[in-house]
Structure 1
């Protein structure tokens, strides 16, 4: 099922997603489970995290949420380029999560031989935690149609027997990254695409078209049964 939610502007999108995010975590906890969420980076995601932190989220026990990442820049742990730095500052450090439930992707200054070994280690961590299934995956969308660090025409698009992979030639700097695969991202109860701005409109249209290639528009490889596109009018302008 694909659900499209459209908002007049980015502010409306941010507010709606923030409230829905808190509600989803509270819903999973009410079922007696620990929510498992794969986070994303990006400008609109960062705004959403700040909005979540500003809400009254007392319905959520933040110490009982597992946080993962869909992708990460393979740089030093203290680099401002890392997605987890912004999420930590804007949300996780504010709401008081359990640090043991924050599963950051490996950094380049840790004891892994290379980005591929680091990706293997993260895949094993996901596999050993509840079978590797998420309750919610958050994804941004690049103007080229990429999601996580799964880029057009890259070999990672065709890998279905791994959870996480190393990327050494990202078209966006820095070149080395770790990404979850389609197989891992699709093992979730829900995927939310968070997309704002007219620069993403063409990619949104290609991702949602009746026909198209995953190699041209990697977002088409997200096939989880429950997919919601959270769009502002600019991003939805070519639908």
Structure 2
């Protein structure tokens, strides 16, 4: 565990959400290149919501080495993979069905375990252990990149305000059956997993996110779930926002340039 203070977040603000798409693609490709150069694979975790749509810039992008990707879900709804609520279905429709990624590189929940949340989250944790433990021998997995969205209540992944899971320090994957948003049953990465990533990037666009973005970035002491994402050194936190979402921030921002 590092005793370094976390790196301050880097905030990239763009004129529109369209520009976020191309800049986010460049950012992902850069993270991918560094990871593959270093260890021959790229580990990434995705969430659902409006995030998968923002990854359109990766479709048809010749710099993406899809066969080197290992994809996990930062959270998933406990539903069949064909259910409209499934994050995997959403990410598949928006991205994976449009690109040549090998199906076995995408780690989904085990749908034979939908009736047993404990078993289901344990099985998903074992998927992580298989990918990370033998190779990195770390207490927690170190993802190259975790991409997250943020709800209007400040939740991220399936970590909700005031929920017991905000205090989970041991498990890599935890379950909840009382999500304040439907569907109630979900599994989610815990903070130790999110905060051990090399890079975590939030994407937040639209005026509807302005108040909560201000609360998360300017008032972290309120402890909203998104503001508890603070990667341990040397990990870095990035925000990709549009001007509408950033309208109430006091922090300075810059555009992402390679």
- Per the normalisation by structure 1, the TM-score is 0.91
Give the CA RMSD over aligned residues.
1.6
Alpha-carbon distance in 2 for matches of 1:230, 1:142: 15
Q: Tell which deviates more after alignment, 26-35 or 73-82.
A: 26-35
CA contact (8 A) 2:16 2:243 kept: yes
For structure 2, the 5+ residue unaligned runs are: 1-6, 134-140, 250-258
The equivalences for 1:5-154 within 5 A come to 5-43=12-50, 45-54=51-60, 56-57=61-62, 59-107=63-111, 110-111=112-113, 113-131=115-133, 132-154=141-163
Instruction: Name which structure has the greater RCO, CA cutoff 8 Å, separation 6+.
Output: 2
Tell me by how many angstroms 1:48 deviates: 2.0
How far apart, CA to CA, are the structure 2 residues paired with 1:82 and 1:39?
12
Secondary structure of the 1:37 match is strand
1:222 aligns with 2:229: yes
Cα-to-partner distance string for 1:105-163 (whole Å, 9 max, x where unaligned): 233xx135522321121112212312322000000011111110000001010110100
Residue pair 2:113, 2:119 contacting (<8 A) in 1 also: no
CA distance in structure 2 between the partners assigned to 1:89 and 1:24 by the alignment? 23
User: Given that residues 47 and 75 in structure 2 are in contact (C-alpha distance below 8 angstroms), is that contact kept between their aligned partners in structure 1?
Assistant: yes
**CA drift at 1:213:** 2.9
C-alpha separation in 2, matches of 1:33 and 1:176: 35
1:235 aligns with 2:241: no
Q: Quick one: distance in 2 between partners of 1:49 and 1:17?
A: 7
Find the aligned partners of 2:222 and 2:77 in 1 and give their Cα distance: 26
Residue equivalent to 2:255: none
User: Residue in 1 aligned with 2:222?
Assistant: 213
Q: Does structure 1 conserve the Cα–Cα contact (< 8 Å) formed by 2:78 and 2:114?
A: no
Count of equivalent residues: 232
Determine the structure 1 residue equivalent to 2:136: none
What is the alpha-carbon distance in structure 2 between the residues aligned to residue 111 and residue 227 of structure 1?
33
Answer yes or no: is the 8 Å Cα contact 1:49–1:87 preserved in 2.
Answer: no
Map residues 179-198 of structure 1 onto 2, 5 A cutoff. Answer: 179-198=188-207
Partner of residue 178, structure 1: 187
- Give distance in 2, aligned partners of 1:32 and 1:137: 17
What SS class does the counterpart of residue 161 from structure 1 fall into?
Answer: coil
